């Protein structure tokens, strides 16, 4: 079995992917034709050219254009089902999908209808594609206290059935001015039983990771790659076995890492950290979850055992129940055993 065939066969779990950023060309084409005149091409060839990543400002424009197509609850469900279809083709068994309720709130979608769309999409994803979908509601940090309030209210008052986590994303440099609002929101969310799953250490240094650990109660850290700048933080993450949701291609596309060959994934593993591999905004960065495993193999030198360990880490760091977790781990073991000499 070649390394690529091994990656294809490996059962996977995705922990770090955004609803809007997950929209592949077929899904965006469906939305663009449903809502013409929004500045998004309705011709497939033109849309593929529009979607091709050029630089971060272009990414931001495309992300905003796709977000503007999400106007009705039906559009939300279309995005979830499109992602489930795409992940099923990659042998992905479970996804923890980051949804930003504030984006739907500002265009006037009633939260009850958003929740109904998410619930419907989760059921259909499992029935039609065999992919379990859980949700993380995240605060877009640059929008401050208002976004924190809207996100928390939706999470506590009308949550989807499969809501498991509370997150914080967006521009990390904007967080300090809203720190108290974020701390209050996370305190309330975790008191209600949601897991604390914020981004940190992608665009800023270790201080942002310390903030989410010490004041937001982070159980996993989205990205977290700047931890390597602080040996004390590395030791803390290692001792507490706090998972990092690492997204190599994303880090290169957004300019956090100069070249894929320079990505710190191998060093994170060498430090004994609990690393998972994820795709972030896959079609917008011209990648997939499977593609990230290929990057790890072909550009960063990871072998089959390393890749299987990353797949197991994602299962163990997930919110799956113990029975479902064991089932996926058994599948990973079976694939690994099939290529291991007796």
By annotation, the residues acting in catalysis are: 202
Q: How far apart are CA 66 and CA 19, in angstroms?
A: 11
C-beta of residue 84 within 8 angstroms of C-beta of residue 125: yes
Query: Rounded distance, CA 13 to CA 278, Å?
Result: 8
Burial pattern 20-54, b for ≥16 Cβ within 10 A else e, equals bbbbbbebbbbbbeebeeeebbbeeeebeebbebe
Helix (H) or strand (E) holding 18: strand 12-18
Angle at 23 between CA 18 and CA 24, to 5 degrees: 135
CA 23 distance to own-chain centroid: 13
Query: What is the 3-state secondary structure of 38-93?
Result: CCCCCCHHHHHHHHCCCCHHHHHHHHHHHHHHCCCHHHHHHHHHHHHHHHHCCCEE
Find, among 221, 61, 199, the residue nearest to 141 by Cα. 199
Distances 91 to 10, 79, 201, 311 between C-alpha atoms, Å? 7, 19, 29, 11
Find the helix or strand (DSSP H, E) in which 292 lies: helix 289-298
Look at the alpha carbons of 320, 236, 141, 30 in this order and tell me if their dihedral is positive or negative: negative
Residue 314 to residue 297: CA distance in whole angstroms: 17
Q: Is 134 exposed, middle or buried (0-12, 13-18, 19+ CB in 10 A)?
A: buried
> What does residue 126 show for φ and ψ, rounded to 5 degrees?
-75, -40
Provide the CB-side half-sphere exposure for 17 (13 A, CA): 33
């Amino acid at each position: 079995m070649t390394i690529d065939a091994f990656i294809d066969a490996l059962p996977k779990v995705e922990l770090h992917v955004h609803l809007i950023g997950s929209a592949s060309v077929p899904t965006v084409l469906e939305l663009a034709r449903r809502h013409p005149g929004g500045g998004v091409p309705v011709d497939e060839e033109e849309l593929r050219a529009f979607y091709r990543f050029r630089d971060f400002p272009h990414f931001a424009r495309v992300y905003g254009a796709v977000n503007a197509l999400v106007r009705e609850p039906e559009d939300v469900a279309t995005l979830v089902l499109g992602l489930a279809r795409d992940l099923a083709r990659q042998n992905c068994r479970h996804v923890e999908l980051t949804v930003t309720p504030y984006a739907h709130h500002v265009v006037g979608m009633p939260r009850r209808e958003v929740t109904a769309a998410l619930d419907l999409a989760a059921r259909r994803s499992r029935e039609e594609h065999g992919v379990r979908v859980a949700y993380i509601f995240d605060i877009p940090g640059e929008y401050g206290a208002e976004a924190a309030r809207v996100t928390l209210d939706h999470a506590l008052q009308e949550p989807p059935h499969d809501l498991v986590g509370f997150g914080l994303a967006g521009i990390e440099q904007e967080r300090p001015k809203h720190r108290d609002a974020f701390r209050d929101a996370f305190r309330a969310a975790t008191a209600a039983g949601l897991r604390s799953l914020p981004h940190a250490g992608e665009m800023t240094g270790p201080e942002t990771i310390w903030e989410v650990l010490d004041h937001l109660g982070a159980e996993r850290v989205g990205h977290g790659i700047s931890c390597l700048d602080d040996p004390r933080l590395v030791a803390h993450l290692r001792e507490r076995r706090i998972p990092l949701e690492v997204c190599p291609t994303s880090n290169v596309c957004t300019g956090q890492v100069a070249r894929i060959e320079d990505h710190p994934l191998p060093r994170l593993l060498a430090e004994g950290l609990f690393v998972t591999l994820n795709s972030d905004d896959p079609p917008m960065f011209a990648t997939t979850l499977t593609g990230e495993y290929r990057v790890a193999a072909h550009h960063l030198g990871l072998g089959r055992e390393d890749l299987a360990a990353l797949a197991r880490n994602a299962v163990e760091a997930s919110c799956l129940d113990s029975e479902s977790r064991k089932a996926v781990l058994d599948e990973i073991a079976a694939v690994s055993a099939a290529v291991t000499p007796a």
